Amino acid sequence: MFVYSVKSSRLKLIALIAFVVLAVAAMIFLARDDTPAASDGGISLKAGNSSERIAFLSQFGWEISEDPVEVAEVIIPAEFDDAYEKYNDIQKKQNLDLSKYCGKRAKRWTYEIKNYPGYENKKGFIQANMLIYDGMVIGGDICSVELNGFMNGFDFPEIEVPTTSADTSAPKTSPTQTTAKAG
């Protein structure tokens, strides 16, 4: 009987250790966060349907046409060339990173932006591109389709307000300037 109880204890100990290891592994698996980071803790990256995609862009202040200009399947390259590295730099500045998705298929949803500063009355010049993987935004940009256009992250651009000087009565002189006296 003594031998049996020792084997039973060892089996119980081995079973307990295996159970603890499996429980810890399950907790780590469930606790890991595979969703991409947001540029702001309050930004939702959900984009699994039309209303979520519109809501995503509106978080940044964008007004868009509800129907996309284009929907295309894209494959994130397994290795980035210089162009993709530069594009991924834009993504990293908004706390997204496409390198986590190398070799994966994603969808690119393109929408027309209606309220880009300076382009409010110019239809079709500014677009939002959203890269969606498994219902979440993993990257994207706001860009101009004009020749020599631009490409930025999702943040609404800050508008520069020209400053006016309150005192315009007399020209200012620097301490190094001297005046000659007539003599």
Provide the residue-wise pLDDT of the chain in tens; the chain has 183 residues. 545 454 567 777 777 677 767 777 776 766 554 444 444 457 789 888 999 999 999 999 999 988 999 999 999 999 999 999 999 999 999 999 999 999 999 999 999 999 999 888 888 899 999 999 999 999 999 999 998 889 999 999 886 545 554 444 444 333 333 334 444
d(CA 72, CA 142): 17
Residue 81 lies in a domain: yes
What is the extent of the structural domain holding 111?
50-152
CA 29 from chain centre, in angstroms, equals 25
d(CA 65, CA 54): 9
Residue 107 lies in a domain: yes
Residue 55 lies in a domain: yes
Residue 114 lies in a domain: yes
Helix (H, G, I), strand (E, B) or coil at 110: strand
* Residues sharing a CB contact under 8 Å with residue 36, sequence separation 6 or more, in sequence order: 45, 95, 96, 97, 100, 136, 137, 138
Counted domains in the chain: 1
Residue 161 has a pLDDT of: 47
What pTM, to 2 d.p., does this model score?
A: 0.65
* Residues sharing a CB contact under 8 Å with residue 146, sequence separation 6 or more, in sequence order: 125
Residue 99 has a pLDDT of: 94
Residue 122 lies in a domain: yes
Residue 14 has a pLDDT of: 77
Residue 44 has a pLDDT of: 86
Distances from the Cα of 178 to the Cα of 59, 174, 183, angstroms: 56, 9, 15
Task: Tokens for 107, please give them.
Answer: 């969808």
